[in-house]
A and B are shown apart, each in its own frame.
Chain A
């Protein structure tokens, strides 16, 4: 899978690249408008991460060009601008998603994978890990082929972990993904812990060979036993 990261801020570009490479993606980068247009029209990418404000031009112009060429799709806008107008404009110009800076790497992973899955959907829409299978279209979870019922938030939590296998998922990232913007100002994320506790129990009872490990009190990591 080839991903192009169009981002002018080198530090951010490095982090994104490092994170995506951990997921075994092939990552290329572009730091300005000209390099970016050159690359998007010469090569094919499975997913493009596009910053709107670039040196020498706007990410929207790249989107427009791509749309004209019929090459739009699989584009995720990453922007510091959190305005509805920009979001709507981006999505109208053919972007698949809009991620506002600052974002969590776990969230970026989840969004990239969602875009890739939509593109490469070949009948199979499930994630496997160890002896477990998470069926995304049926919203069902099974261990060793045996159905294990999860409630909506447990399902979303596990799904998020599975999109970030063996990666750090911070409590904030998880809370924002599963509980939405409402966790914005919640000072204590202890409730996340109680949710994880329930999920751990279910995994244990159904004899799954995956577990949710704690990471230094800031988050969790889904690993094989």
Chain B
């Protein structure tokens, strides 16, 4: 849920509560206000009636509420003296202009008593009140409208203001999403004076700088380590070669030395691959020039012919177009030969290798293990499908590293026993 909507959710709930409480309070206080205003009127009315009663005795005989809202009734002295003025809410039957029959109407009534010429009377003065039902109804819809208008305006304001306020944040987020360690040169930055965002930028960039330096150190370390290993490996290899040439070597010893020699050679291969990877990662190849891949593919297949014919593989190349790409020539050669070597190596006897070259894609399909490879791991370093092969497990990782360097998408697919690797030589 977006921040904007979340804040709206909380705002609308709390505003609903506030408006509800407010409307109840408002209703009560308004009712009180109305009553006290009516009461004042009734009080005034009472005074006029009592004054009139002193002079006009006809009033004293008024028994029912008809054209004027008061009644008089004789009462005895004791009751009159003990009675106090009281205001009550009651109902009397009245007929409005639009009513067919008298209807009960809520009224405010003042009951009081007074004395005229030694005679005590009880006076009831009434005034029609607002109907509470109508008031509540009216007020309810007012409140609903108020709520709707409030929420609508808050949504609008939120949308405009929050979007504007959070813009630096979203800008920053977008930069972070596209940030790639080691390939994005500029650190993400925000153009804002907002303290929180500045703090965020500072914290993220500090973290990134740590990562960058760790990343650089790691790259440098791999490069240096494999570089430093070259000389000792050279010493071992050469000494073993000389040892194997010794005339007086016993056969059994010689075979052991031969085994060691092969292990050392494997380390040499591994080290060379690591060195190559670290060079690719460090962007030490960048002599980009237009290159035609078709002749490279055919040339490499020719170079590998003995290996593929030893495994009795059937290799076919189909070219629908000339594939021209802007690339470092060494890397172009490595991509092609690693893909082809992979297809030949992980094949079985009498299998097939199909190479397809189109305007922008190189696809290598080969028969092999009847099982799909793990999409996530097939290009990762040192990932081997089975432990028996003495391959370095870096061939495809190198292909991926080169492709990543140029932003070319690499795809792996498996269908009916055929593994397919393809590179599209164009950035999206």
Query: Which residues of A come within 8 Å of B, CB atoms?
Result: 9, 11-12, 15-16, 18-19, 22, 80-84, 100-106, 153, 167-168, 170, 172, 179-188, 190-192, 194-195, 215-219
Contact B338–A185 (Cβ < 8 Å)? yes
Which residue of the partner chain, among A101, A185, A217, contacts B230 with CB atoms under 8 Å?
A: A101
B370 → chain A, closest Cβ, in Å?
Answer: 20
Which of A11, A106, A188, A195 is in CB contact (< 8 Å) with B235? A11
Q: Does B345 lie within 8 Å of A218, measured CB to CB?
A: no
B235 lies within 8 A of A179 (CB): no
CB of B233 within 8 Å of the partner chain? yes
Establish whether residues A179 and B303, one from each chain, have CB atoms under 8 Å apart when the complex forms: yes
Q: How far is the CB of B302 from chain A (nearest CB, A)?
A: 10
**Contact A80/B300 with A15-B235, A185-B394, A187-B389 known, Cβ cut-off 8 Å:** no
Is the beta-carbon distance between B239 and A170 smaller than 8 angstroms?
no
A191 contacts across to B, CB distance below 8 A: 306-307, 309-310
| Nearest-Cβ distance from residue A180 to partner chain B, whole angstroms | 6
Partner of B273, one of A185, A216, A217: A185
Most B Cβ at <10 Å: residue of A101, A168, A195? A101
Could you tell me the distance between the alpha carbons of A83 and B272 in the complex, rounded to whole angstroms?
12
- Secondary structure class of chain B's binding surface, majority of residues: helix
B242 at the binding interface (Cβ < 8 Å): yes
Are the C-beta atoms of A102 and B341 separated by less than 8 Å? no
How distant is B44 from chain A, measured CB to nearest CB, in Å? 109
Verify if B293 is at the interface (C-beta below 8 Å from A): no
**Restricting to B213-269, which residues have a CB under 8 Å from any CB of A?**
227-228, 230-231, 233-239, 241-242, 244-245, 251, 254-255, 257-258, 261-262, 265, 268-269
Given A185-B273, A216-B254, also A102-B237 (CB < 8 A)? yes
- Give the distance in Å from the alpha carbon of A103 to the alpha carbon of B241 in the complex: 11
In whole angstroms, how far apart are the Cα atoms of A153 and B389 in the complex?
Answer: 26
- The answer for the CA separation of A218 and B263 in the assembled complex, in Å, is 11
Question: What chain A residues lie within 8 Å of B287 (beta carbons)?
Answer: 84
Q: A186-B341, A191-B310, A218-B258 are in contact. Are A82 and B275 (CB under 8 A)?
A: yes
Besides the known contacts A12-B231, A168-B244, A179-B306, 14 further A-B residue pairs in the complex with CB atoms under 8 A apart: A15-B235, A19-B241, A83-B279, A102-B231, A102-B234, A105-B241, A106-B241, A185-B269, A185-B273, A187-B391, A188-B390, A190-B310, A215-B244, A216-B251
CA distance A190 to B236 in the complex (A): 24
B residues within 8 A CB of A185?
269, 273, 338, 341, 345, 391-392, 394-395
Tell which of A81, A84, A102 has the most Cβ of chain B within 10 Å: A102
The answer to whether B244 touches A218, judged by C-beta atoms less than 8 angstroms apart, is yes
Q: How far is the CA of A82 from the CA of B257 in the complex (A)?
A: 28
Measured between alpha carbons, how far is A165 from B121 in the docked complex, in Å? 150
